[in-house]
Amino acid sequence: MFVFAAVLSVLLAVVGLAAGLPKALLKGNIPAQLQSAGGLSAPLVRFIGLAELAATAGLLAGLFWQPIGVAAALGFAVLLVGAIGFHAKSGDYANPETRGNAMAPAILTIIAIAVAVTLILAS
């Protein structure tokens, strides 16, 4: 069970790194691909990026101490639920052009919960 938890943790950490790094390193205005009808401010985008990077670090640390990994996975799931709410409020799920990108947080939420459950079961 631990091998499965480790694989899921690493995969989710890679996604968190890929999503969080550009947001955390954001300088100036928000790029077009991060803009939406909701109008996130640049400092908020940077904060979200830092939270994603913290979750990434926690997921990797959780490979050595499982309680940290569980907390990181659950924290990442909470962040992703917020993203789902933001996309829903922005109408991204109703728009066929933006629906694909808006589905990523929903899928990743399921994976984050699976990481937390597998880490709990592996301990």
Residues in Cβ contact with 36 at an 8 Å cutoff, skipping those fewer than 6 apart: 86, 90, 92
Q: Is 46 exposed, middle or buried (0-12, 13-18, 19+ CB in 10 A)?
A: middle
- Please report the pLDDT score of residue 120 as a whole number: 94
pLDDT digits over 94-120, tens only?
888 888 888 999 999 999 999 999 999
pLDDT at 5: 92
Q: What is the pLDDT of residue 96?
A: 87
The domains of the chain are located at 2-122
57 pLDDT exceeds 90?
yes
